Structure formats: C-alpha cells, structure tokens
Amino acid sequence: MNRKQIRDLARKIMDEETEAPEGLLFNIDIDVLINIAQGRVEMELIPYIPREFRKPVLISLVAAKPTYNVVTDLLLTDFLVFENIFHNESGKKPQGLQYIEPDQLYDYWTVGETGQDPRVWLYEEKDTIGIYPIPTASLANRLKGFYFYEVPDLNEDEDKDHDPASSKYSIPAMPKAAHPLIAVDTVRLIHLVAEEESSDIDRIYATYFSSAINALSIEPSLGSRVRGPLSESVR
C-alpha cells in the first residue's frame, strides 16, 4: 500500500472519506499521523519479526579510538538501535562482543589498556558506542554489527520514479501484511487527539496484528533453536 491507499483506508475506517473543510481532517493532517503511526507499528513488530527490520554493518576500528558515532563514524543515517556486534576476523569464528552497561566496564578494561582484541561494547551516549579494549592499530572491517533501522517517513502519495536514491517514499519499508496496521493506528491516533472512544479500533488493530505476526513470524523448519553457552560465543 502507498500513502494514499493507507490514508484512504484510514478514512474508510472512520467513515470520513471527504477531506476538510467538508470532512473532519485535511489530508496533510492525516499524513503527519501516518508517519507517527508507522513508527509505532515498527516498534511493536520488531520483537516478533526482528529480521524484517535488521541490517548489517561492517565496523572499521581506528587506532587509539574508543568511541564511534553511528552517523559520523559508521555512516548510518537510518540507525535505531544495535542488536549485536561480532568479530569479523579472517580465519577465526565470528564470536560476539559482550554487551555491557557503563558500570560493568570496571570488570573488563583498565584505563589506558590497549593492544588487545575488543571484548566488550556499550552505549557511551545517544548514538555513540564504545568498544574496549582500545586497539593500537587501525583495522578495516574488523567487526560486523547488526542494527535495527528506522523506517523512513512517507513523503509522497505515489511512487512515480521507483528510484530509492531519490529520497521519495510512498510505500512503507515494512512487509505488506503490516501496511493495514498503519492505517488502523492512524485512526487510533485521531481518536486519541479527539478524545473519542477507540475500543472498536483497538480490536480491529489486534486482529490485523495477529494475522500479520502469524504469517511473518514463520521460521524455516530445518533450523536449530539450540544456543551454546555465552562463554563460548563471546571472545
């Protein structure tokens, strides 16, 4: 569904198909709520179908540099949050870096310690990660991270040129089965602003959500859910 179709579905659910001033809302007002709604839908879907919102990124380490900003250093303009970070060293297993909280750094690093393999990572501040111990040499593509991306706002009704590089988006960057959820959540937001009862809309949303999750969370039957001890999977 493109933005126009999502907006039309939202209007049908509200039984308010005419744009203001004849109707309740202008299209531009609904368009703002559509972008808020698709962000909310993404947050609800990620725990159930993380693969649909995951991207990999290779991380090069810089000598004597402990912190990396996801935008200026890693060049991630759609970053939402890291899932995990792994070693990416030729000839060795891609073991993970252990994620820690700032108060745990005491257990894994001594101030000034350098020259060892990175062992842990943490969020130093918003959009900035720290990787310790600090390397003494620059290492290209030394780590591989997986992060969840932020879906781009929809800024036009129809995809006219089909060129992703144009930064024009009419179709949500999520599975088609989830598109109706955006329309329904848009209606929920409208009811919230208008202080109207939304229990019926909540039931519609729950039905769509259940259907989408049932289909999109299917995993290959030949996979293994067994996980080894954490001590073996981190370096």
Q: Per-residue pLDDT tens for 14-44?
A: 988 888 787 778 999 999 999 999 999 999 9
Average pLDDT over every residue of 180-204: 87
pLDDT at 139: 93
The CA–CA distances, whole Å, from 216 to 37, 47, 107, 204 equal 19, 12, 40, 18
Alpha carbons 82 and 127: distance in angstroms, whole number: 10
57 phi/psi in degrees, rounded to 5: -150, 135
Of 88, 99, 90, 100, which is closest to residue 144 (Cα–Cα)? 88
Q: What are the tens digits of pLDDT across the range 72-126?
A: 999 999 999 999 999 999 999 999 999 999 999 999 888 888 877 899 999 999 9
Average pLDDT over every residue of 174-180: 95
Q: For residue 126, with 0-12 CB atoms within 10 Å meaning exposed, 13-18 middle and 19 or more buried, which class applies?
A: exposed
**H-type helices in the chain, by residue range?**
3-14, 27-45, 179-194, 199-216, 230-233
Q: What are the tens digits of pLDDT across the range 47-68?
A: 999 999 999 999 999 999 999 9
pLDDT at 22: 79
pLDDT at 194: 65
Average pLDDT over every residue of 1-12: 95
Residues in the chain: 235
- HEC string for 38-68: HHHHHHHHCCCCHHHHEEEEEEEECCCCCEE
Instruction: Give the end-to-end CA distance of the chain in Å, rounded to a whole number.
Output: 44
Q: What are the tens digits of pLDDT across the range 116-171?
A: 789 999 999 999 999 999 999 999 999 999 999 999 999 999 876 556 667 889 99
- The model's confidence at residue 7, banded by pLDDT at 50, 70 and 90, is very high
